[in-house]
A and B are shown apart, each in its own frame.
Chain A
């Protein structure tokens, strides 16, 4: 999984706090995707972004979750007022374009809510 960098690898938050997860795509990739993996479940698509644009956020919860991919810097997945149910592994993937090219994943951020 070399190339897509996610940080932090582990994040602990108390209920009600904010969580910020960062993703730097592979060099040359301008398309970023976020997925969530709840304990003992498969990965679920959350959002697809290009630089400065959200293309598809159909998998994002309606409240408390937001994502951005600014012109400069990493993509950020932000979770406000976290609850216990937000505990999961959050994976970021990137690809060079929107066409049928493989998405390459980072090693994820494991979010634990106390």
Chain B
């Protein structure tokens, strides 16, 4: 079962930053935090992942708290095309790393 907790839904205005929280209070030291999103009728799309340090790529930024018990995915300038279900996944290293465990995610709606 998924070891993360996310709000079921969020709204954000177009052009604003979307901040999606995730709690993973039972995360272990060798477990990564991954984010995927699923736009309606498409397959999950990889966004970003991190272990301890904050990460940034062309899609988003990932902020992980110092105790690693929670994280926030930031879409800096949300567009209508960012409307999707966003999944926060804790992924171990080694045995079991191949099974991504998807929870219910956060349904993000970007409003014009």
Contact of B49 with A by CB under 8 A: yes
List A contacts of B49 (CB < 8 A): 100, 102
One digit per residue, 1 when the CB lies within 8 angstroms of any chain A CB and 0 when it does not, for chain B 29-59 equals 0001010000001111110010000000000
List B contacts of A105 (CB < 8 A): 43-46
Q: What's the nearest-Cβ distance from chain A to residue B30, in Å? A: 9
Whether B32 contacts A33 by the Cβ 8 Å rule is: no
Given A42-B104, A42-B105, A48 and B45 contact (CB-CB distance below 8 Å): no
Whether B99 contacts A48 by the Cβ 8 Å rule is: yes
List A contacts of B105 (CB < 8 A): 42
Given A33-B98, A48-B98, A1 and B45 contact (CB-CB distance below 8 Å): yes
List A contacts of B43 (CB < 8 A): 1, 4, 6, 91, 93, 105-108
State in angstroms the CA–CA spacing of A112 and B25 once bound together. 39
Interface contact tally, CB-CB below 8 A? 61
Q: What's the nearest-Cβ distance from chain B to residue A104, in Å? A: 6
- Which residues of A from 56 to 103 have beta carbons under 8 Å from B? 56, 58-59, 91, 93, 98-100, 102-103
Whether A104 contacts B98 by the Cβ 8 Å rule is: no
List B contacts of A91 (CB < 8 A): 43-44
List A contacts of B102 (CB < 8 A): 35, 42-44
State in angstroms the CA–CA spacing of A6 and B97 once bound together. 23
List A contacts of B2 (CB < 8 A): 42
Whether A56 contacts B45 by the Cβ 8 Å rule is: no
Q: What's the nearest-Cβ distance from chain B to residue A88, in Å? A: 13
State in angstroms the CA–CA spacing of A103 and B100 once bound together. 9
Q: What's the nearest-Cβ distance from chain B to residue A105, in Å? A: 4
What are 12 A-B contacts defined by CB distance under 8 Å?
A: A1-B45, A42-B102, A42-B105, A43-B102, A45-B100, A56-B98, A91-B44, A93-B44, A99-B93, A99-B97, A103-B46, A108-B42
Chain B residues with a Cβ under 8 A of chain A: 2, 32, 34, 41-46, 49, 87, 91, 93, 97-105
Chain A residues with a Cβ under 8 A of chain B: 1, 4, 6, 31, 33, 35, 42-45, 48, 55-56, 58-59, 91, 93, 98-100, 102-108
